[in-house]
Homo-oligomer: A and B are copies of this chain.
């Protein structure tokens, strides 16, 4: 009789399945022909089913139990305990539900894209209804202490609860509104702008690659492609794929997008390859993932220190930049205004978009709002926060892909990411070597600090514990507010 497989062997098999699905998902976003959607949905559903079957099998349970008994380091114990927590969640979902969800969301993404194109919410509503239904089923199967939304949030941010997020958001919202108003008012009085395009796509690609490499992204273990919706996905231990899109009128749109995705990519590339597939070698949460993307995009990418080095380099690729001074350039990229689209929002107004989405999806999941009521609820909330009414649903409740992916509970992690980014960056840059290196456009010391404190632990700590461990204090919003005030009220960074 052959030895039964070890937990590590099974975890690698699960990672092979999940990462194969990621290849198919990446292709779905980048290159899939129009008529191939249905078959792709079935392929993904098959892979999801096999992954779920394996990770909830008796073999898996037994191997995990044996591994827990034999674990001989705290890191391994933490990793296996996390695997046990995931197992306890997974076993509550039947394989049929997992396969159904995979197929429904594959097709819903397609339905959403075409509904958004035509600004036709009713065309998406039936798919959204199915997804909401599946999400509620999952929440019920997983169980929760206070409200169904908690169970979904736990998928993305373990240890968080709707009530705790709501408390943070309620407390921070008035401060954010004050900052946003000041930032927008300042923008209206100054109106600096970038020299006009075109910024040719090829030159953007070359410059983006140069910056990505300087930040430490390894192109032998990853690549950058073009998609309508930028993302980062990991297809294997040495295969991290970023995507971006290009606007020839404004090179910073793609550049900051790439720096954002590079932040995600550096986290993935910073995980321990030998632990690939186990919690110790996996990203811990979306709120931590987003802290890395926001750190590189905003704290590095939009800073004076960065551009004092990179503006002359950019001018070699885009000659029109030769005419603009550093102060004007910074003023241009620090413009702030209340606008409709989250992914185009500036730092000063961004979190208000998130708070709005959190309130709506929490109400949806908890059964306090119907799918058909979403457009009205959205537009009313938007008007109250932003003083604007979206002219159509394309620029309102249809703008984001997340709900069509079944990602209810996902949105708040963006703001948690912003808060974490500021706290982590403030902590790292208390180190003079790191600060000095950044001034000299050398990002290695910062990256090494992040690798050691944030990336390498993988999922061996809860997100909140990871942040506390790395920065010396519990996660908070003060560093984020201070950062925004410095940049958007005092205009000093």
Contacts and interface: CB of A to CB of B under 8 A. Distances in A.
Contacts of A50: 50
Nearest to A27: B23
Given A20-B20, A33-B222, A46-B13, A237 B27 contact: no
Interface stretch (A34-42, A73-81, A188-196, A464-472): A34-42
Interface in A21-80: 23-24, 26-27, 31-36, 38-40, 42-43, 46-47, 50
Contacts of A122: none
A13 B45 CA distance: 11
A3 interface: no
Contacts of A13: 46
Contacts of A235: 36, 39
A223 interface: yes
Contacts of A36: 221, 235-236, 238-239
Contacts of A238: 33, 35-36, 38-39
B221 A31 contact: no
Stoichiometry, as copies per complex, reads 2
Interface residues of A, number: 36
Interface in A211-250: 218-223, 225, 235-239
A5 B20 CA distance: 25
Nearest to A239: B36
B33 A46 contact: no
B27 A43 contact: no
A36 B39 CA distance: 26
A105 interface: no
A306 B35 CA distance: 30
A460 to B, nearest CB: 22
A237 B36 CA distance: 7
B220 A35 contact: yes
Contact of A32 (B16, B20, B38, B239): B239
Contact of A239 (B12, B33, B239): B33
Contact of A24 (B20, B31, B222, B223): B20
Contacts of A26: 27
Contacts of A24: 20, 23
Contacts of A16: 42-43, 46
A39 B237 contact: yes
Contacts of A34: 220-221
Nearest to A36: B239
Contacts of A333: none
A223 to B, nearest CB: 5
Given A33-B219, A39-B237, 11 more contacts: A16-B42, A20-B24, A20-B47, A33-B220, A33-B221, A33-B223, A33-B238, A35-B221, A35-B238, A36-B235, A38-B238
16 contacts: A16-B43, A20-B43, A20-B47, A23-B23, A27-B27, A33-B221, A33-B222, A34-B220, A35-B220, A36-B221, A36-B235, A36-B236, A36-B239, A38-B238, A40-B236, A50-B50
Interface of A: 12-13, 16-17, 19-20, 23-24, 26-27, 31-36, 38-40, 42-43, 46-47, 50, 218-223, 225, 235-239
